[in-house]
Structure 1
């Protein structure tokens, strides 16, 4: 089922040509670290920088391509899979209403569940992303148009660490009776200091020590999530606090923890034009503008955290959505002087907005804020060029509270007129703790027909469905025809 879900998501990217422009999407040949503002003159120029349409006015270029990618952030997938090994507390399966042995097993599972949620909270804005784009772009002389689409979605946990009281338990004495905690001894799972801390959390004395020893024995024999003793200690302190006098904690079977999946898919159809201004010995300045129709679909769903595994995070992304149509405006400029290009583009200047009135949302709409990106490219030799881009704005993402601001660049070598090779890297400088992503690409063919193949991969790894994968990956394939 998990594989089918991911396949369905990938097919959605390819078939529906949806697009997300919250983050600046690096469409086309992103092998030079995603740089394109000052070097893209092909069929995707209307998307990258309409100012580039001011140049190569005698050319007609068509570009057809698609890409798919993912991001695994801060081991969300791994922790969701760990939780899936435990019983769902919201069904009553962890209520302490059975015999002492069963109750102790359930209390041990509740401890692991709370410990993992604590670890997820400590990781901050952790999420799992899926993204992709599709391009059918064309430029005819100084005009550009096409269909540019992308989808981006993110699953993010919304954790409830208030409703964690073991159901049916109102005091340490109640807990000791329910789990059969009637003796104490030397701890095996916990350190002596952790053991004493746990005992004190349950009121200290013989009752507190008996409870601490019972949990020590249970976690020593059954710890299916491999929870550390430190995390278990913190979880048991919280459980102790939840049954203390004056606690406002609710029962764990009313816990509201969930995975919120947010996504935006849209395609834009621009009509763009670029106009060259001759600056004499100071080169040529190209200015351009694009007016575009944008048809979008906003996705928003909430799934309980406890009956989900990492392969199911996007299971319901397409089940709850709303369609709407809006429009946007882009402006761009590109200055060419000898072998130096400097470019800047400002996208979505009118803050186009898609409706969410029919969805369970605290917002009135899904607004795309303006994005500004600058770029430079230099042809050092006939066969060697370099380029770099930087986002000048902190751009929104589908993950609440997380920004995207990429800095990237690379080098391209063209040893023959039918072959080019490029390498580079980019980094999200708005997000702490996120490493660089390495990119590379190849181009084969002549002007009348060529193929681009580009890929990006992170040297860092994350865990998904029990396996380690690069934390970020993307692959893109496109065909070009110039005549």
Structure 2
């Protein structure tokens, strides 16, 4: 098997950097939204409305100074004629039994290294190793698991109801692709047969030192020669005798009952261990967008908006065989990338009334997709809908609730998200904005509750904002507990 450290290096590299159909999640990818727990659909009030709700653009720089307009202009959008911003964010997450499975995998002996037909010595130990490998593969936890890394860089300018922005989004995901089906002892018919001399065909007359009871030997023989086991009587007897000899010499603390279970489980699993395709998969996308935004206020209370995006996606899909076996489904592209282009369309609606605002945004309504032809991996940006409701009793205070109407997938198919978000902002004296919030992934419980906080400092001509998020749940990585989810964001903006 490859060196144990390679498995952990692969996991670590995905955190530092991250035929499947995938889509991006609706994450808290701008600084004000992150500080407010990812809730910004109803109360977005800057250039980043391009991402959260383009309908806000219809209310920017309103010329109507009527009492009706003032009564519903909860975010002072009529006072903002133009603006610009630059923002960056990055984060990572981990979920599922990744550490448990890599611990199992790094302890296994690779059956592909067994020299077929050359077992003239220490056959018993080889049999024991093969049984332990098969048992380990069969015990891998198939629950959804993976690690992810993500980052966004965006810049935009807004003039009245129009905006132009550029944005780059990197999504990387890594996971162990399990093959706990190909775990049977078919290999032993070749490597054991003829190397151990037994008595009469199918008998177990030779029983070294009695590690197993007679009943246990009979049970193993029956299982190994059953249709599920698939071995001949002679081969099965050879396996049991060699296994017993190895365990008698050095059983490593294993009981006879546990050893019996290992051998039977390994032998009756479907598939052949020499065809095992357990692999580490790393795939992702770098999506660059050029977007044009427009919003139109139907009246003082209702506005609609949209974003037309030209998109260029650079995809990679890398898979490497962890166990170094000879399976025929493992794929590797040596880390090469492929670039394709497309268009995306986002739509938004915003409704205002005194002290309250409501919003709906549907991103990628036309479902743009990009395919990496070398492996067939498709990065499909399915439509994503999110709603928000905000209470704004004054122009200095906002409390907003957000909810993902759609369930979204990450760059690996086991990574799913559907967030419910809650956040607040107090813009103290229009100098210092204090923000706090939380969000929960309803599609996966591994991450737990994510707490967020942020602040914005108004420096007259520019505004500096920072925010961070960290999950309540921990995951184990190389024996250490680390947060299952973490994210940080920074932005510099101007609004006039």
Greater C-alpha Rg: 2
Per-residue deviation, residues 315-374 of structure 1 (Å, max 9, x unmatched):
x898232101100111101112122110101111111121333x222x6x5332111111
**Aligned twin of 1:264:** 285
Tell me, what secondary structure is at the counterpart of 1:278?
A: coil
Q: Does 1:254 align with 2:272?
A: no
Tell me, what secondary structure is at the counterpart of 1:125?
A: coil
By how many angstroms is 1:130 displaced?
1.7
Per-residue deviation, residues 411-442 of structure 1 (Å, max 9, x unmatched):
22334433222222212212355522222222
Per-residue deviation, residues 40-98 of structure 1 (Å, max 9, x unmatched):
221211111100112232332222122222221113144225423444434x2586844
Contact 2:138–2:183 (CA<8 Å) still a contact in 1? no
Q: Does 1:322 align with 2:338?
A: yes
Q: Does 1:183 align with 2:169?
A: no
Contact 1:267–1:295 (CA<8 Å) still a contact in 2? yes
Question: Given the alignment, which residue of 54, 71, 76 partners 2:93?
Answer: 71
Question: Given the alignment, which residue of 40, 44, 50 partners 2:48?
Answer: 44
Contact 1:295–1:324 (CA<8 Å) still a contact in 2? yes
C-alpha distance 113-348 of structure 1, shift in aligned 2 (>3 A): same
C-alpha distance 8-451 of structure 1, shift in aligned 2 (>3 A): farther
* Backbone CA RMSD of aligned residues: 4.1
Tell me, what secondary structure is at the counterpart of 2:267?
A: helix
Measure, in 2, the Cα distance between the counterparts of 1:318 and 1:241.
35
Tell me, what secondary structure is at the counterpart of 1:413?
A: strand
Contact 1:35–1:408 (CA<8 Å) still a contact in 2? yes
Question: Given the alignment, which residue of 144, 151, 157 partners 1:132?
Answer: 151
With structure 2 as the length reference, what TM-score do the two structures score? 0.76
**Aligned twin of 1:342:** 358
Tell me, what secondary structure is at the counterpart of 1:261?
A: strand
**Aligned twin of 1:273:** 294
Question: Given the alignment, which residue of 281, 301, 306 partners 1:289?
Answer: 306
Contact 1:333–1:344 (CA<8 Å) still a contact in 2? yes
By how many angstroms is 1:257 displaced?
2.0
State how 1:88-127 maps to structure 2 within 5 Å: 88-90=110-112, 92-93=113-114, 97-98=118-119, 101=122, 103-120=123-140, 122-127=141-146
Measure, in 2, the Cα distance between the counterparts of 1:51 and 1:108.
67
Question: Given the alignment, which residue of 389, 412, 424 partners 1:376?
Answer: 389
Contact 1:112–1:232 (CA<8 Å) still a contact in 2? no
C-alpha distance 105-212 of structure 1, shift in aligned 2 (>3 A): closer
**Aligned twin of 2:267:** 240
With structure 1 as the length reference, what TM-score do the two structures score? 0.78
**Aligned twin of 1:16:** none
Gaps of 5+ in 2: 62-79, 198-205, 226-232, 326-331
Tell me, what secondary structure is at the counterpart of 2:36?
A: coil
Q: Does 1:28 align with 2:30?
A: yes
Give the length in aligned residue pairs: 447
By how many angstroms is 1:163 displaced?
3.3
Tell me, what secondary structure is at the counterpart of 1:390?
A: strand
Question: Given the alignment, which residue of 387, 409, 422 partners 2:435?
Answer: 422
Contact 1:299–1:318 (CA<8 Å) still a contact in 2? no
Contact 2:90–2:151 (CA<8 Å) still a contact in 1? yes
